[in-house]
Amino acid sequence: MDQELSAAIAQRLHQRRTALRFSLQQLADRTGLSRSTLQRYETDAIHNIPLSSILALCSALQVTPQWLLGQPEGTACPPPIARLTESIAHRSDLAQLLDLACRCSPADVRRAIKILQALADEA
């Protein structure tokens, strides 16, 4: 994530949290993130926010990921991406899986896909 984007996210997080009159602790309780992590997000001390954290923040702050990332409100995700975003927002295990995949090499992701496909075929 580039510094300009992370600074915009930090500003929007603070703006929305204060608009809802949430303390950092209240937001921590709603997201499962620590108060200190949230403070570092808001002060732009952490530049690479995991997708699972972004989705938890969006849910707690009642905003869309597009808003948090500073995209125009009229910007719509393609339907497959919108479906995935909705699924990930409601299932922390999927968010964790995506976070892990983002840290793997493309070859490792392809191997993981094959394993998951085999498990899905068994079900």
* pLDDT tens sequence for the chain (123 residues): 678 888 989 999 999 999 999 999 999 999 889 999 999 999 999 988 888 888 889 888 988 888 888 876 655 656 666 677 777 777 778 878 887 887 888 899 899 999 999 999 997
Q: What is the pTM of this model?
A: 0.64
List, in sequence order, every beta strand (DSSP E) within 25-80: none
> First and final CA of the chain: distance in angstroms?
37
Cβ atoms 57, 32 nearer than 8 A:
no
